[in-house]
Chain A
Amino acid sequence: MKTRVWIIILSLAVLVCAVWWMLVSTPSYPSKIVGIYQNGSLVEKIDLNSVTGEREITLSGKFGKNTIFISHGHIEMKSAECPDKICVKHGALESSGTPIVCLPNKVVIKFESSSDGADAKTGAV
């Protein structure tokens, strides 16, 4: 076969693969599944993307009550009766940031690792 034919075949293959790759890697919405833990055990698991409207969860611990505020794509510790209120000052939970922790009442709010295999794909090879 002529060299020119090969060039055409290979460039076509590159093109097809590029289109294929674009189809495969269409951006999927990152899941925002958040877990709320108290004393190390799961209290509730919420997908922040599927939350409509606003909601509050109140947990009570040794040092009083913690109020968690949830709206679409957003979760924060609204108020706490513990002495330091570090969890309230933390603000909203960011996907790249640290989990919200209330040490006195042993409450932790953090992102759950997504279960759609995204981690397996990027981490395995």
Chain B
Amino acid sequence: MKTRNLILTAILTAFALVAFTIEAAIPPLTPIYGIKLGIANVFTLFALYALGTRYAAALLFLRIVLGSIFTGQTVAFIYSLTGGLLSFVLMVLLKRFFPLKQIWVLSALCAVTHNIGQLLAAVFMTSTVQIVCYLPVLLISGIISGAFTGLCAQLVYIRLKKWLENHLN
């Protein structure tokens, strides 16, 4: 574990937390829980490409735990964790199939998985199967927001790739 990698992970975690907290403060656009941009995902994706699986996993876990504490949404913690872990596993597994110019596709798929995981957790927690009728909306929002955050991560990573390769490792 290199100090520089560690520091970069810490900075990215702080960024992700700030993004997450600000986003949580914005009133929801729709009454349906789970539709949001998920800006914090940009940092997870970036860390996955720049630093690797272990650092990205640490970032994600810390962001979810600390984010739930900072925003005071302890119930959302379970949903976040289920969705986050599920989408992260998919992200790591599918990463090799997508070139750098298609990070946004990977991100869209992961966002969809995230929303499905969240919905399953919600079904399990509230033991009401009717919530599944929100699935199509969550899929649409997942594809759009995932593609957007993925595009952000992709553009930043492609620009910083050279610099990262010189300064890390």
Contact = CB atoms under 8 A, between A and B. Distances in A.
Interface stretch (A6-14, A48-56, A87-95): A6-14
29 contacts: A3-B101, A3-B105, A6-B102, A10-B143, A14-B139, A14-B140, A14-B143, A14-B144, A17-B136, A17-B137, A17-B140, A18-B140, A21-B136, A24-B136, A25-B133, A117-B128, A117-B130, A120-B130, A121-B128, A121-B131, A121-B133, A124-B122, A124-B126, A124-B128, A125-B32, A125-B33, A125-B122, A125-B131, A125-B134
A43 to B, nearest CB: 31
Given A20-B136, A125-B122, A13 B143 contact: yes
* Interface of B (DSSP majority class): helix
A13 B138 CA distance: 12
Interface in B46-83: none
B39 interface: no
B84 interface: no
A122 interface: yes
Contacts of B136: 17-18, 20-21, 24
Given A24-B133, A124-B126, 15 more contacts: A1-B102, A6-B102, A6-B105, A13-B139, A14-B139, A14-B140, A17-B139, A18-B140, A20-B136, A21-B136, A21-B140, A120-B128, A121-B131, A124-B131, A125-B131
